[in-house]
Chains A and B, each alone.
Chain A
């Protein structure tokens, strides 16, 4: 680090600690969001396994609303429509779709792995700042007590 923590004053350290806490919060929520999206992709990928030759033509209940279902038959088990972002949907076969999800999940894993070290680093920095702060407070305390001691004497 370019700046020596011990040279900073207490209010400065307080500010630094606050800033680090904000950054930690931001990174933690980013990781949380990425994990939520990743879970969605994993679930979608898992539900693809229902679309196989054995289930073709079988009956199923389609949810029209969350509380109403209508019977239907599974006529096409080879094609699905995938949302690729910004309002574009692509018709893909099941194999390609599985790859699509795998790609997305891998991408998210990589992003999470990128953030994790940064988060750890911020945590370590915050810890260091807190330690220096404690040290300074203790110093201040001992100074005060020794001063009041001499004043009495």
Chain B
């Protein structure tokens, strides 16, 4: 009896650990997005300060390519939009994960209690 519960506890614990790994992976992905967002916001601010007199170049590989100011602005705006969307996506993903791992924690706690009770009974018999 106790052994069966122990096995179940073990597998549930492994599942839970896997889940925690996923959570931290998503967390770091989110943080990276946040950094990109900040960087792109800074670039946007700089581009907004420019006028037609300034020439904008884009670094593609090792070469600088001349680019239209409006085009550069549009690219950065699009990028910001994409990053914001991604952050939102991760946010909902993380919330969902949080909820699931909370549930899992409860399952684990009750299993642990069951295991302890079963162990107590086994000792009582001996």
- Name the interface residues of B27-73: CB closer than 8 Å to any CB of A: 39-40, 42-43, 46-47, 50, 54-60, 64, 72
Interface: B76 (CB within 8 A)? yes
Minimum CB–CB distance from B52 to chain A (whole Å) comes to 12
- Among A5-13, A23-31, A66-74, A87-95, the one that faces the other chain is A87-95
> Could you say which of A81, A84, A96, A100 contacts B47, with CB atoms under 8 Å apart?
A84
| Size category of the binding interface on chain B | 10 to 19
Minimum CB–CB distance from A93 to chain B (whole Å) comes to 8
Minimum CB–CB distance from A88 to chain B (whole Å) comes to 6
Minimum CB–CB distance from A8 to chain B (whole Å) comes to 22
Q: Are A91 and B59 in contact (CB under 8 A)?
A: no
Alpha-carbon distance A91/B72, docked complex (angstroms)? 14
Measured CB to CB, the nearest residue on chain B to A89 is B57
Q: Are B55 and A86 in contact (CB under 8 A)?
A: no
Q: Are B54 and A91 in contact (CB under 8 A)?
A: yes
| Size category of the binding interface on chain A | 10 to 19
Measured CB to CB, the nearest residue on chain A to B55 is A91
Interface: A117 (CB within 8 A)? no
Q: Are B43 and A81 in contact (CB under 8 A)?
A: no
Q: Are A88 and B54 in contact (CB under 8 A)?
A: no
Measured CB to CB, the nearest residue on chain A to B38 is A85
Q: Which of A81, A89, A92, A100 has the most CB of B within 10 A?
A: A89
Q: Are B46 and A84 in contact (CB under 8 A)?
A: yes
Q: Are A90 and B59 in contact (CB under 8 A)?
A: no
> Could you say which of A81, A85, A91 contacts B39, with CB atoms under 8 Å apart?
A85
Interface residues in chain B, defined as those with a beta carbon under 8 Å from any beta carbon in chain A: 39-40, 42-43, 46-47, 50, 54-60, 64, 72, 76, 79
8 A/B residue pairs, CB under 8 Å, sorted by A = A86-B79, A88-B46, A88-B59, A89-B56, A90-B55, A90-B57, A91-B54, A91-B56
